[in-house]
Structure 1
Amino acid sequence: MRPEETLQSLWTLAALPPEALAFARLNGTDPVLPSSFAVGTAAQASIAAAALAACELGHLRGTARQEVAVEMLHAALECTAWFSLDGRVPPQWDPFSGLYRCADGWVRVHANFAHHRDGALRLMGLDPSTAQRADAEAAMRSRNAIDFETAAAEAGLVATALRRFDEWDATPQGRAIAAQPLFTIERIGEAPPLALAPLAESQPPLAGLRVLDLTRVLAGPVGCRALAAFGADVMLVNAPHLPNIEAIADTSRGKLSTHLDLRSKAGQTSLEELLAEAHVFVQGYRPGGVAELGFGPEQTARRRPGIVHVSLSAYGTYGPWARRRGFDSLVQTAMGFNHAEGEAAGEGKPRPLPMQILDEATGYLIAMGAAAALWRQQREGGSWHVQVSLAQTGQWLRGLGRIPGGFEVPSPKIEPWLESAASGFGELRSMRLSARLARTPVAWRWPSMPPGSHPARWP
């Protein structure tokens, strides 16, 4: 599918005005990174959709439409999420993360968080304090892949068996995902349109909007970072007792960052005070987790009529895996992408996609969905619920088709696309945003700062 057609399909699903598509400028064609999948198209279309939706909301607030340009290679490189701190490039993976050969196939383990790593090692029968990668590889050779996947899920851990596309399609979860749209935007309550000040032509399209970001890895932070780039005030809410990965330095650009312990009454009260002035609430808790704390979609709609609540999950809201935890790399493995990439490359072993495109594209779909729901809220009133998942994005990516000769393209240089800025983590060198707005260039209002750097109040 051509990039323009892909963008049009996203726009139609969001029910936004078709005349706005005339202001999109998409350059480039796949392949731009070594892959048999249209990862460049997925990156470009999702980023363009997010930027164009933000601009359409700005247009509804009184400004002229403006051109949005996205170059495919730049978009794809942005989605590699490369960054450095004081000249050091943080490792992307824990040594225990990755594929393990089993007695009857492969299993991918996600071990970037210590509690996930230690839990997986104990499930292998190993002592986390002494185990080495070679010990884990030896332990897994006698295991059944599906049995290990099932045991990990039952223990609240994150590991998936490698499947082919046809094997995934035959699973109940595969059938559930195939029956769902890429994303949904649903009205969940009654409310008048929230008061939004008219914009001046020089203001970014989301100026004056307030976004609560209750996400950690990686799609949610990317989506909320995009909303910040288009002018929104974004408050990242972290729990002081929960760990983070170093990518938070890159994904916190443009955000305020506060600490709230939502297990406590004080933390819940502070969040409720922030919610009272928010327009968007984005959460990536395990399915049902945020509702247990009193901030599920219907609960936030009652507390803040007119809110747009965005829910991110790994495997969607239907099917036996709906409550399973997951990460991009695991969803790639479970759904068949790793097998298909390895087969296309002729390497004789599974191969990951060249970037975590399920995370990145889903992140920009979060930004698009939030802006589209706000557009509807301004026209119709109501409270709204946007739902996205990594697996639904995977199903969409697969539907974009395969790229013959996709591995023949050389790996491009990243230096032309980098920018540097001071941050609370050190000198941050990272990818510039690829969406270029003709009248109001994207910009970061605040530097990236560590969790808890700001008070729990809006500026």
Structure 2
Amino acid sequence: MTKPAMLHNIWAALGGHADDCNRVILTTEGALPSVYPVTDLASASMAAVALSIARLRAQAGGKPVEDVHVDRRLASIWFASSLRPIGWQVPSAWDPIAGDYKTRDGWIRLHTNAPHHRLAAERILGAHSDKAGMAKTVALWDKAELETAIVEEGGCAAEMRSSLEWSQHPQGRAVAQEPLIHMDRKQLANMPAQPVDPARPLAGINVLDLTRVLAGPVATRCLAAYGAKVLRIDPPDWNEPGLVPEVTLGKRLARLDLRDPGVLARVKVLIASADVILHGYRPDALEHLGLGRTVRQRLNPALIDVSLNAYGWTGPWRERRGFDSLVQMSCGIADAGMQHVEADKPVPMPVQALDQATGYLMAAAAIVGITDRLQSSKVLQARLSLARTAQLLLDYRSDASAQAFALQTDADLSGTLELTSWGEAKRIRWPIQINGCPASWAIPARELGCDAACWPA
């Protein structure tokens, strides 16, 4: 199977050599149904993880980069959900009034999963118990006016634009000029070499996870698969019950209030002892908490720092709140889907591909950073955004229809039983195969806040 150009684009953004892509063997035919190459994105982003692991192992062992295999169909399934509960169900990921609404002049999406975001929308639109009531109120508004009002109130909303409108929007133009991954490196004095176990190449790596829904948790779940010790920190009152069973696999889970000065001091100790930090706070949020970039560098000059935001790192929306479904509305993906199938409402991608792909790109960037530090004592700071990942898809749009995948079968399930906090479950088999380096997770998915805020022994 020929290698998609998308993989070369991603690997180049990570600083890799084009020849490395020849080590990737993609298997299975077919694709998820979409006007955009979602399956190519799924397999390419997971292939980038596989290549980054293979490169780390090669560097540590003084050997050439070995072949890696990625199953396109399994990658596509993981982009939807990896967890298959036995005798229980995962709650819906969506708040009752979250969704797409018709306005006087088009469509808008309200993202109300977080209670404070729902309250912000209801301060503008009034309290509603269901979508039917909300729809009557939204129908009285123009989409641009309502988007502005909700965003200024501290909520999350996005009017549906076409890809042409996005390309002419100041934020769309800004994002199109950004690299897929901002990669900044600084040179340190020679650092002591850290041994790399070929079977668990991230063993001994401390990863501090300050991310939530959804890209960041995907990234740290992936790092845990290859041995990293992941510690996720959540606020005392935060929960995401529809996603926690999916993404907490392999992690220690603690709750801390970063606004408490005493707690902040403890977090600084964790930063000082971490190898990697991943965070998804808006650009100014950590600064306000006293954990800005300069502080993190002073606490730990060798810290690999990977950050994420929704709408890009330049332009007027660089500090705007956002989520996958909102970015799909803003940048033209939902509109293109609607036009492609001649629907009468927005048609997003069949999976939250922006979150998922950006998560795997974050993981790949962190692994590249670990390799850089081992190879040349260079320390990486990487920045990614959902909107720039969306731009990658926009650049590769194709109206050609690929053969749909066969339905999931029992053969797709791992043979391992996972004893989660909610009951027994199985996972879909991991799409990546690296000889002598199987993915595995020592900790099952559990409720948030199960652990103390410290690294495991």
For normalisation by structure 2, the TM-score amounts to: 0.93
Report the alpha carbon displacement of residue 377 of structure 1 after superposing the two structures with TM: 2.4
Indicate the larger mover: 61-70 or 271-280: 61-70
Tell me, yes or no, if the aligned pair for 2:94 and 2:242 is still in contact at 8 Å: no
* 1:236 paired residue number: 232
SS of 1:386's equivalent in the other structure is strand
Tell me, yes or no, if the aligned pair for 2:88 and 2:422 is still in contact at 8 Å: no
Unpaired runs of at least 5, structure 1? none
The one-letter code matched in structure 1 to 2:136 is: A
Residues 1:26 and 2:21 are matched in the alignment: no
The one-letter code matched in structure 2 to 1:75 is: A
Residues 1:191 and 2:188 are matched in the alignment: yes
Question: Which residue, out of 401, 417, 427, partners 2:412?
Answer: 417
Unpaired runs of at least 5, structure 2? none
Indicate the larger mover: 50-59 or 178-187: 50-59
Residues 1:221 and 2:220 are matched in the alignment: no
* 1:438 paired residue number: 435
Question: Which residue, out of 340, 346, 358, partners 1:344?
Answer: 340
The one-letter code matched in structure 1 to 2:407 is: P
Question: Which residue, out of 131, 149, 162, partners 1:151?
Answer: 149
* 2:309 paired residue number: 313
* 1:284 paired residue number: 280
| Gap change, CA 1:200 and 1:229, over 3 Å in 2 | closer
Deviations 1:68-127 (A, max 9, x none): 211111111110125354431422322211110000000001122222223212311x22
Residues 1:180 and 2:178 are matched in the alignment: yes
The one-letter code matched in structure 2 to 1:226 is: C
Tell me, yes or no, if the aligned pair for 1:68 and 1:437 is still in contact at 8 Å: yes
Deviations 1:326-378 (A, max 9, x none): 00000001111111011111223221110000000000000111111222222
Tell me, yes or no, if the aligned pair for 1:250 and 1:428 is still in contact at 8 Å: no
Report the alpha carbon displacement of residue 17 of structure 1 after superposing the two structures with TM: 4.2
* 1:127 paired residue number: 127
The number of residue pairs the alignment matches comes to 452
Indicate the larger mover: 85-94 or 318-327: 85-94
| Gap change, CA 1:273 and 1:228, over 3 Å in 2 | same
For normalisation by structure 1, the TM-score amounts to: 0.93
Report the alpha carbon displacement of residue 217 of structure 1 after superposing the two structures with TM: 0.4
Tell me, yes or no, if the aligned pair for 1:193 and 1:379 is still in contact at 8 Å: no
Aligned positions of 1:384-403 closer than 5 A? 384-403=380-399
* 2:401 paired residue number: 405
Identity %: 34
Tell me, yes or no, if the aligned pair for 1:230 and 1:442 is still in contact at 8 Å: yes
The one-letter code matched in structure 2 to 1:446 is: I
Indicate the larger mover: 352-361 or 279-288: 279-288
Residues 1:78 and 2:73 are matched in the alignment: no
Deviations 1:208-249 (A, max 9, x none): 211111101000000111111122111111121333343112
Tell me, yes or no, if the aligned pair for 2:84 and 2:428 is still in contact at 8 Å: no
Question: Which residue, out of 285, 290, 305, partners 1:294?
Answer: 290
The one-letter code matched in structure 2 to 1:146 is: A
C-alpha RMSD of the superposition: 2.0
Q: Distance in 1 between matches of 2:270 and 2:133?
A: 48
SS of 2:171's equivalent in the other structure is helix
| Gap change, CA 1:443 and 1:66, over 3 Å in 2 | farther
* 1:266 paired residue number: 262
Deviations 1:107-148 (A, max 9, x none): 001122222223212311x225xx332110000111010011
Indicate the larger mover: 86-95 or 219-228: 86-95
SS of 1:402's equivalent in the other structure is coil
